[in-house]
Structure 1
Amino acid sequence: MRSTACTAAIALSLALGGCATRPAEPPAPLTYVIVRHGEKSGDDPRDPSLSQAGHARAGRLAASLGAAPLRAVYATEYRRTQQTGEPAARAHGLTIARYEAKQAAAEFAATLRRDHRDGTVLVVGHSNTAPAIAAALCACEVAPMPETEFDRRMLVRIDAHGRTSFEQTRDR
């Protein structure tokens, strides 16, 4: 009888141990990569496409994100931003999500933060929008971008505790 009671106690203990919840895994880090579109051609003054140099820059961007867990690619409605994001989107089997170039940076950043929790998100903007988007995501100061600058990559990382960091690199 005693062995039956011991067996039952052990079984109950194992069953209850199996019900214990494990602490939740912290979410993976989130990285926003914010860039300006590549160099423009002179084919259309209102909505130019990328030049040969711009297409090459878009290809390098896609290659640099090849191993990244790319979750989304955002670009404005203009051809040059779409063409800049296209190689990275295609390489990851994604469709480019369009956003309005005139949308307030803080509003767009709030949408990005709401919709993404982990992985890497590429945002392609313009010289007058990309720094503001990065600044809104990191709540930090970001230098303005001159019209002649095409090689700056702004990285906003958000760790599992919600802390942000900002880094700039150059595409050469």
Structure 2
Amino acid sequence: MKCRWGIVLLASFALVACAAPATLDREGTGSTSLHEKTIFVIRHLQKERGDDPSLTSEGAAASERLANMLADKGISAIYATPTRRAMETAAPLSKKTGVAISEYDAKNPETLVASVAENDGAVLVVGHSNTVPDLVVRFGGRSQPQMTDQDYGTVFLIDAAGDVHEFILD
């Protein structure tokens, strides 16, 4: 299963490299080019219960798999909301790559989009079930994924053509 995921991911990166640049603003009002960025968006992984819960052991293991899958993808920026579950989802990749996690305000996605646009290289954004679908579109995705509060482990790759590729951490 891991081999198949790697082949699909490799094929998607090849598509990203061949595609035309996407824009952050699909309305045509002052678009900012993504410069063929690779943007990965994921909802935080499985969480405990409570007001600001940590990841479960299953979520922590999945965050390690995420780090292993993205470690060699040229990640130059990692963004996460300041919630414990989002920060813990991003932490293993940060440790593995040496890229610090930048906090962002989920209520102000325009600032996040501007920060990502200014960054060179691939980016990981960790969000929430109620923010990830909107972020995928804001980053140039032509389709908005549907998510429920029970969806964990789906990585969305937005390519330069605006296609949204989904990968499941297994």
TM-score by length of 1: 0.74
The Cα shift of 1:107 comes to: 4.5
Q: How many residues align?
A: 137
Matching residue of 1:31: 38
Do residues 87 (structure 1) and 89 (structure 2) align? Answer: no
Structure 1 CA distance for aligned equivalents of residues 35 and 97 of structure 2: 19
- Report if the CA contact (8 A) 1:34-1:122 is conserved: yes
Whether the 8 Å contact between 2:141 and 2:163 is mirrored in structure 1 is no
**Structure 2: unaligned runs, 5 residues or longer:** 1-33
- Does 2:133 align with 1:126? no
Q: Aligned partners of 2:142, 2:158: CA distance in 1, in Å?
A: 10
Of all paired residues, the percent bearing the same amino acid is 30
Computing the radius of gyration from Cα coordinates, the structure with the larger value is: 1
1:97 aligned residue (94, 102, 111): 102
- For the residues of structure 2 that align with 1:121 and 1:139, how far apart are their CA atoms? 15
- Cα offset, 1:110, TM superposition: 3.2
SS at 1:164 equivalent: coil
Distance in 1 separating the partners of 2:163 and 2:151 = 23
Give the equivalent residue in structure 2 for 1:108: 112
Q: CA deviation at 1:106?
A: 4.3
Q: Is the 8 A contact 2:143 2:163 kept in 1?
A: no
Question: In the alignment, which residue of structure 2 is the partner of 1:166?
Answer: 164
Residue 31 of structure 1 deviates from its aligned partner by: 0.5
Query: For 1:60 and 1:34, how far apart are their aligned partners in 2?
Result: 15
Q: Supply the distance in 1 between the matched residues of 2:93 and 2:137 (Cα, whole angstroms).
A: 23
- Contact 2:48 / 2:55 at 8 angstroms: preserved in 1? yes
Q: Determine helix, strand or coil for the equivalent of 1:121.
A: strand
- 2:148 matches 1:146: yes
Given the two structures, how large is their TM-score scaled by the length of structure 2?
Answer: 0.74
Q: CA deviation at 1:144?
A: 2.5
Matched-pair contact (CA < 8 Å) for 1:72–1:122? yes
Q: How many Å separate the matches in 2 of 1:101 and 1:49?
A: 18
Q: Would the aligned equivalents of 1:35 and 1:123 in 2 still touch at CA under 8 Å?
A: yes
Q: Please list every run of 5 or more consecutive structure 1 residues that lacks an aligned counterpart in the other structure.
A: 1-26
Structure 1 counterpart of 2:77, from 72, 78, 82: 72
* Corresponding residue number in structure 2 for 1:7: none
Provide the rounded CA distance (Å) in 2 between the counterparts of 1:32 and 1:152: 14
Deviation at 1:77, TM superposition (A): 0.7
Letter in 1 for 2:157: L
Q: Is the 8 A contact 1:106 1:133 kept in 2?
A: no
Cα RMSD for the two superposed structures: 1.8
Q: Is this contact kept in 1: 2:52–2:83, CA < 8 A?
A: yes
